[in-house]
Copies of this chain bind each other. A is one copy, B any other.
Amino acid sequence: CLIGVLSSPDPRLREALIELEASMQTGGQMVLTDAEQRLDALLLKLKQEEMSREDFPPAMHFFRAKHLIQTSPIFRLLQKMPKGGALHVHDVSMVDVEWLVKNVTYRPHCYMCSTDNMSVRFIFSSQSPKPLARCSPWVLLENLRAKIVNTTDLDNSIRGNLSLFTDRDPEAVYPSQDVVWDRFEQAFQAVWGLVTYAPVFRDYFYQGLTQFYTDNVMYLELRAMLPEVYELDGSTHNKAWTMKTYQDITKQFVSTHPDFFGARIIFTHQRRANISAVAEAVKEAMQLKKDFPDFLAGFDLVGREDRGKPLWYFRDALSLPAKKGVQLPYFFHAGETDLEGTEVDQNLLDALLLNTSRIGHGFALLRHPVAKDLSRKRGVAVEVCPISNQVLKLVNDLRNHPAAALMLENHPLVISSDDPAMFGASGLSYDFYEAFVGFGGIKSHIGSLKELAMNSIRYSSLSREQQKEALLLWQRRWNTFVTENEFLKIN
């Protein structure tokens, strides 16, 4: 009997329990090929070396750890690894900031002003734009750059305003959640004026697909605000245009990159809005679902959860599709909080009651055993974004991320990167590193990585048929990856 009281421990029982525990984890039941086992032996050796170093990257703030991660041989393997899909990424934080600075802000007609709370705003305009409240007069960057000899300082200052990343002590720069969220929202607004300019909008999305593709991600579900995209003359486009643009560019990208499977949009709205605005957004989403049935995945509410209204507050608006018999899948952010027991902390349960297809973050899931059980039984995957949770100060040492426990129970979950550009990351590899080396511990192995990648297809919004096709494509790329790396020499 496994749980009987023993006088002296039986090594075979011990072995059996250790194996039982190992088999329960994500990927624990995966049958591995010989080649995969060879690659796994290599990974284990690398991970043990990594864990024995004094400055263990997952225990450090990502801003400090980034350059260490970049030199890690595990990271370099994870970059090459076909990771499947990225299911939790936001529209205006796909592309690294360097590209915005060097490419976008150098385009003609780009104006900038400085806000009175130490941020910047941008606008492209054929004529001098109307002044913005609480902002300095607009300066045409072309003129400004022509006047100064060394543009490095200017570019650095712009770069600093477009993301949270900093070389200074991140704990000192962002001492509290309030501070870091405030700077986060400021950076979004700074990026906003750049990326909602129609020509940039198109290029940005194409560049985003390119960066994820380069990171060996083959599919994307993009949470998109579907903003009013503007032209140089100030005219704007509606949401249908924006959707159509996303769709066209995706098709174009897939046609030139046949091993990229595609992208879909999750339309998102601010959770700080009032009920009628959310009801309006839900109705728009229903219409978009009708117009883009295969391209719109569903709907979500975004923004700082602790400061927004709880999902339950919007229950009538969010029940509209069910009431009208329209299929509108939900992909709610929920449980991105450490305020246990507040109204907002009820979002996890309410997301499930509102029949969500996945849960964004679910950081608080361990604090909700009933919701956790529901999510497991219904196969509602948690989208785990480790670096985001660390930068936004939910957890310090990523070994303590709650997904450690979830992975050990093979809870339905995928790894994603939320807003990689904002955090100085890119694609999915940094987050896979934190998951695999950080909260995965020594126990997670090649089977875990395989299952995480497969989860990203299994829990996507794709149809059964599409999933089959995507899995086939992924499997081909995976086999190549394994074959090319199983005999890799270390160092």
Instruction: Tell whether, in the assembled complex, residue A341 and residue B374 are in contact, meaning their CB atoms are under 8 Å apart.
Output: no
Contact among B315, B370, B377 with A20 in the assembled complex (CB-CB below 8 Å): B370
Complex-state Cα separation, A405 to B372, whole angstroms: 11
Closest B residue to A341 using CB positions: B442
Q: Is A307 an interface residue (CB 8 A)?
A: no
Find chain B residues with CB under 8 A from A349 CB.
Answer: 14, 17-18, 21
Instruction: Tell whether, in the assembled complex, residue B396 and residue A396 are in contact, meaning their CB atoms are under 8 Å apart.
Output: yes
Instruction: Tell whether, in the assembled complex, residue A367 and residue B322 are in contact, meaning their CB atoms are under 8 Å apart.
Output: no
What sequence of 0s and 1s flags, for each residue 165-177 of chain A, a beta carbon within 8 Å of any chain B beta carbon?
0000001000010
Instruction: Tell whether, in the assembled complex, residue B366 and residue A176 are in contact, meaning their CB atoms are under 8 Å apart.
Output: no
Find chain B residues with CB under 8 A from A355 CB.
Answer: 5-7
Contact among B176, B367, B400 with A408 in the assembled complex (CB-CB below 8 Å): B367
Complex-state Cα separation, A59 to B176, whole angstroms: 10
Q: Which of A333-381 touch B at CB < 8 Å?
A: 338-342, 345-346, 349-350, 353-355, 366-371, 374, 377-378
Find chain B residues with CB under 8 A from A6 CB.
Answer: 353, 355
Complex-state Cα separation, A5 to B377, whole angstroms: 11
Given contacts A14-B350, A400-B400, contact A443 B341 (CB under 8 A): yes
Q: Is A273 an interface residue (CB 8 A)?
A: no
Instruction: Tell whether, in the assembled complex, residue B3 and residue A374 are in contact, meaning their CB atoms are under 8 Å apart.
Output: yes
Instruction: Tell whether, in the assembled complex, residue A338 and residue B3 are in contact, meaning their CB atoms are under 8 Å apart.
Output: no
Q: Is A9 an interface residue (CB 8 A)?
A: yes
Instruction: Tell whether, in the assembled complex, residue A346 and residue B9 are in contact, meaning their CB atoms are under 8 Å apart.
Output: no
Complex-state Cα separation, A440 to B408, whole angstroms: 23
CB distance from A472 to the nearest CB of B (A): 29
Complex-state Cα separation, A369 to B397, whole angstroms: 21
CB distance from A376 to the nearest CB of B (A): 10
Q: Is A323 an interface residue (CB 8 A)?
A: yes
Contact among B10, B338, B366, B369 with A366 in the assembled complex (CB-CB below 8 Å): B366
Instruction: Tell whether, in the assembled complex, residue A369 and residue B7 are in contact, meaning their CB atoms are under 8 Å apart.
Output: no
Find chain B residues with CB under 8 A from A323 CB.
Answer: 7-8
What count of chain A residues pass the 8 Å CB interface test?
62
Complex-state Cα separation, A383 to B10, whole angstroms: 26
Q: Which of A169-204 touch B at CB < 8 Å?
A: 171, 176, 178
Find chain B residues with CB under 8 A from A342 CB.
Answer: 51, 442
Number of copies of chain A assembled together? 2
Instruction: Among A6, A24, A338, find the residue whose CB has the most chain B CB atoms closer than 10 A.
Output: A338
Q: Is A425 an interface residue (CB 8 A)?
A: no
Instruction: Tell whether, in the assembled complex, residue A339 and residue B7 are in contact, meaning their CB atoms are under 8 Å apart.
Output: no
Instruction: Among A51, A378, A408, find the residue whose CB has the most chain B CB atoms closer than 10 A.
Output: A408
Instruction: Tell whether, in the assembled complex, residue B319 and residue A350 are in contact, meaning their CB atoms are under 8 Å apart.
Output: no
Instruction: Tell whether, in the assembled complex, residue B3 and residue A377 are in contact, meaning their CB atoms are under 8 Å apart.
Output: yes
CB distance from A381 to the nearest CB of B (A): 16
Q: Is A100 an interface residue (CB 8 A)?
A: no
What sequence of 0s and 1s flags, for each residue 13-32 of chain A, a beta carbon within 8 Å of any chain B beta carbon?
11001101100100000000
Closest B residue to A445 using CB positions: B341
Q: Is A399 an interface residue (CB 8 A)?
A: yes
Complex-state Cα separation, A405 to B335, whole angstroms: 14
Find chain B residues with CB under 8 A from A51 CB.
Answer: 339, 342
Closest B residue to A25 using CB positions: B369
Q: Which of A404-447 touch B at CB < 8 Å?
A: 404-405, 408-409, 439-443
Find chain B residues with CB under 8 A from A368 CB.
Answer: 21, 408
CB distance from A27 to the nearest CB of B (A): 14
Instruction: Tell whether, in the assembled complex, residue B404 and residue A405 are in contact, meaning their CB atoms are under 8 Å apart.
Output: no
Instruction: Tell whether, in the assembled complex, residue A442 and residue B340 are in contact, meaning their CB atoms are under 8 Å apart.
Output: yes
Q: Is A116 an interface residue (CB 8 A)?
A: no
CB distance from A57 to the nearest CB of B (A): 14
CB distance from A375 to the nearest CB of B (A): 10
Find chain B residues with CB under 8 A from A366 CB.
Answer: 366, 404-405, 408
Instruction: Among A178, A323, A402, find the residue whose CB has the most chain B CB atoms closer than 10 A.
Output: A402
Q: Is A54 an interface residue (CB 8 A)?
A: yes
Q: Is A249 an interface residue (CB 8 A)?
A: no
Instruction: Tell whether, in the assembled complex, residue B396 and residue A5 are in contact, meaning their CB atoms are under 8 Å apart.
Output: no
Given contacts A340-B440, A396-B397, A402-B405, 13 further A-B contacts (CB under 8 A): A3-B374, A5-B378, A8-B319, A9-B315, A14-B312, A21-B370, A54-B176, A340-B399, A366-B405, A367-B405, A369-B408, A394-B400, A395-B400
26 contacts between A and B (CB under 8 A): A5-B355, A6-B355, A7-B319, A9-B353, A10-B353, A13-B353, A14-B312, A14-B350, A14-B353, A17-B353, A18-B346, A21-B371, A24-B369, A51-B342, A59-B338, A340-B443, A341-B441, A341-B442, A341-B443, A367-B405, A369-B408, A394-B400, A395-B397, A395-B400, A396-B400, A400-B402
